[in-house]
């Protein structure tokens, strides 16, 4: 297909999508973030009380991080195919809405994940040049 035809097709698809959506889509950032923080707090309290292990606590959140990433990435690819190539994959849901919602959840969970590994990141950025220099002096 010629580039001009693809552009016209993508424009038509976007116009149809825009007509099907409400004028202003509202995303549930505050509600979703609040639920995620409350759920994390609950699992953290259960871990601190010895009801679950730290391994189980982290495994749950790592699986949720993987799931939200997968949903966000898959819907992002489907949206890319629709916009750039005119390949429409019909799903019984608003792909853009759920792409953004999964992205919000992934972002909140990513903050937890980064906080777990904060010491690693600090040492990687603060001590890395020193370790690299020591390793190269021996050569």
Contact 44, 57 (CB under 8 A): yes
- pLDDT of the chain, 139 residues: tens digit per residue: 566 665 666 666 656 665 555 567 889 999 999 999 999 999 999 999 999 999 999 999 999 999 999 999 999 999 999 999 999 999 999 999 999 999 999 999 999 999 999 988 888 887 655 555 555 555 4
Contact 14, 83 (CB under 8 A): yes
Burial of 105 (0-12, 13-18, 19+ CB in 10 A): buried
Contact 27, 97 (CB under 8 A): yes
Residue 126 confidence (pLDDT)? 79
Residue 85 confidence (pLDDT)? 92
Closest C-alpha among 32, 25, 34 to residue 96: 25
Q: Which long-range contacts (CB under 8 A, 24 or more apart) does 7-16 make?
A: 9/86, 10/82, 10/83, 10/84, 10/85, 10/86, 13/82, 13/83, 13/86, 13/88, 14/83
Residue 77 confidence (pLDDT)? 97
């Amino acid at each position: 297909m010629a580039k001009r035809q693809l552009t016209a097709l993508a424009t038509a698809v976007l116009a149809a999508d825009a007509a099907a959506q409400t004028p202003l889509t509202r995303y549930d950032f505050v509600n979703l973030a609040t639920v995620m923080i409350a759920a994390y707090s609950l699992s953290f309290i259960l871990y601190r009380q010895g009801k679950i292990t730290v391994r189980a606590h982290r495994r749950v959140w790592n699986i949720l991080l993987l799931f939200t990433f997968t949903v966000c990435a898959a819907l992002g690819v489907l949206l890319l195919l629709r916009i750039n190539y005119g390949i429409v994959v019909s799903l019984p849901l608003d792909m853009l809405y759920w792409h953004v919602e999964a992205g919000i959840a992934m972002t909140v969970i990513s903050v937890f994940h980064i906080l777990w590994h904060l010491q690693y990141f600090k040492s990687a950025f603060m001590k890395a040049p020193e370790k690299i220099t020591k390793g190269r002096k021996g050569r």
